[in-house]
Amino acid sequence: MKLKNAIVQLEKHIGPVNATPHGELTKYRAVPPGGRTGIEFLVTKSSDEIVNLRVAERGEDNHRTECRSGWWCKNMKQMIEYVRGRHWPSDAREA
């Protein structure tokens, strides 16, 4: 999926997308309002394609061991359905 399409889907179904540069990669993350579980993916500077799609809890990674927790997903639709269906705060589900 192209970066532009991914951002449109996340902003429509989850919420604002934050971008953080990491060397040759940029990490994108969106978390529903009031939630801890978010959607993350990476994009290289030389490509417009998203990679390493994952659903993750905020603050769960261990940077000392480079252990990354979460659920790896095949596509954006799968991630959005997971976050909205299982981890979205009940009061925000109607929005």
The pTM of this model reads: 0.73
DSSP state of 49: B
Q: What is the pLDDT of residues 20-53, one digit of tens each?
A: 988 888 989 888 887 777 888 989 878 888 888 8
Stretch (H or E) spanning 27:
strand 25-30
Report the pLDDT value the prediction gives residue 1, as an integer from 0 to 100. Answer: 87
Q: What is the pLDDT of residues 75-92, one digit of tens each?
A: 888 888 888 776 544 444
Domain chopping of the chain, boundaries: 3-87
Name the residue with tokens 């261990």: 62
Query: DSSP string spanning 54-89?
Result: EEEETT--BTTTTB--SEE-SSHHHHHHHIIIIIS-
Of 68 and 13, the one with more pLDDT: 13
